Amino acid sequence: MDVRRPRVALTLVFLTGGVLFGTWAARIPAVKDRTGVSDAGLGWCLWAMAAGALSAKWAAGRLVTRYGSRAVCRTGVLLACPAVIPMAVADGPYSLAVALTAFGVVLGVTDVAMNAQALVLGRQAGRSAMSSLHAAYSVGGLTGAATGAWFAARGIAPVAHFTLVAAALVTANAVCGSRLPPSEPAPAGRVSRTGAGAPVPSVPSAPSVSPVPSAPCGAPTAPSGERASAATAPATGTGTGTHPPVPAAESAGAARDRMALAVLALACLCGLAAEGATADWAAVHLHEDLGRSSGFAALGYAVYCVAMAVARLGGDRVTARWGGPRSAAYGAAAGAVLFGAALATGQATVTLAGFAALGAGLSLVVPTAIETAGRLRGQRPARDVAVVTAIGGLGFLAGPPVIGSLAQVWGLPAALTLVPLLTLAAAGLLYGPAAHPPTRPRRHT
């Protein structure tokens, strides 16, 4: 199946998400100065963004189930682009909180839908696409941060900057949106369909985990907690289509899958909390604590995104050779140690290098968690991916306000030590045996 055009369209969606967040992150100091909010006030505004995104992510799972990931993804990205503009015109903490809440809502919906689309694309292509698509997000973050540094260095107001970015991204996504991978929701017990209604073919899972061969035609299959339709009922010889009792081994496997899903979601939460804290506070730390200009401060998130994008571009090969969770764990542990050491020096240039190490170390955490959740043995991969992205997204959006609240008590440099601790926590969760359950290809999303 030719997936080149759908891949380009979905890559643009991931790129757009990164550009939007990088644009916002690079201009936080300017928006903070315009609104006059304190560190604690900015932290509360970011809590509003977290609340909006969290509620939207849980609702997004139902939207994707009802309307399909393609429709939700296309609509969400077109709404997310202009949602950056109100943040630039906010003139106080309350208006900024409202603007950030709206931004969080549209980003939350788009995040769940685009990751569900990435899983569909990988299965249509017959190989994993998650890491490289997340690399596009990192490239977008780099682009947004770099252009933000350029605009900030020339004293251009955020409102003009954000308006130009929104107009360009809306145009590009409107043109390419119709080429996104076709997918339809698959209710429990029904065969999934895409496009014209053809059943989704099974494809091998990522090479990092040896898939269990599919059951032969007519063999009984009994996913726990779900009913099979007549079209998928196993042949029992009675003509009733009734499932045999679920073996104890399958019940134990379902319990392992639930544990694995919880561990993967927590690892994603820790990794994204560290990412979100870096995105929102790197520029502020370099500008206010280390006394560098706004242009230099914007480079903090930029070098972080460069390192993350480069590492993710080769991420699929790394995980195929050494295994996804373990590779992500080793990288995260190394990045945490290096960033913590750089942060302790209090030197701007060394801290920049620390942000680069952190970006490379965190590069595989989120793609690995999502991809592994999408290959668990249950029958609802889209649901599992939604759980991981929703809980992980909570970390991405809650991490920054937690840092802001701690900064009010301890100061920002001390509060930022939470970032390497979160990264180490993600490494420990991914290294443990609970994140390595048996997996197999699944039939639909």
Q: Is the pLDDT of residue 203 over 80?
A: no
Q: Is the pLDDT of residue 123 over 70?
A: yes
Return the pLDDT at 442.
44
Q: Which of 62-66, 194-198, 320-324 shows the highest mean pLDDT?
A: 62-66
Q: Is the pLDDT of residue 35 over 70?
A: yes
Q: For the segment 60-91, what is each residue's pLDDT rounded down to a tens digit? A: 877 887 888 899 999 999 999 999 999 999 88
State the average pLDDT for the chain. 79
Return the pLDDT at 79.
95
Q: Which of 30-39, 360-369, 422-431 has the lowest mean pLDDT?
A: 30-39
Q: Is the pLDDT of residue 294 over 90?
A: no
One-letter amino acid for residue 262 of the chain: A
Return the DSSP state at 83. G
Return the pLDDT at 381.
65
- Is-contact 72 59, C-beta < 8 A? no
List 193's β-bridge partners, or say none: 199
Which residue is listed with tokens 């009802």? 66
The residues near 419 (Cβ < 8 Å, ≥ 6 apart) are: 274, 277, 278, 339, 343, 358, 403
Return the pLDDT at 437.
59
Return the pLDDT at 306.
85
| CA–CA–CA angle 140, 141, 142 (5° rounding) | 90
How far apart, in whole angstroms, are the C-alpha atoms of residue 395 and residue 366?
A: 11
Return the pLDDT at 301.
81
The proportion of the chain whose per-residue pLDDT surpasses 70, expressed as a percent, equals 80
How far apart, in whole angstroms, are the C-alpha atoms of residue 26 and residue 411?
A: 21
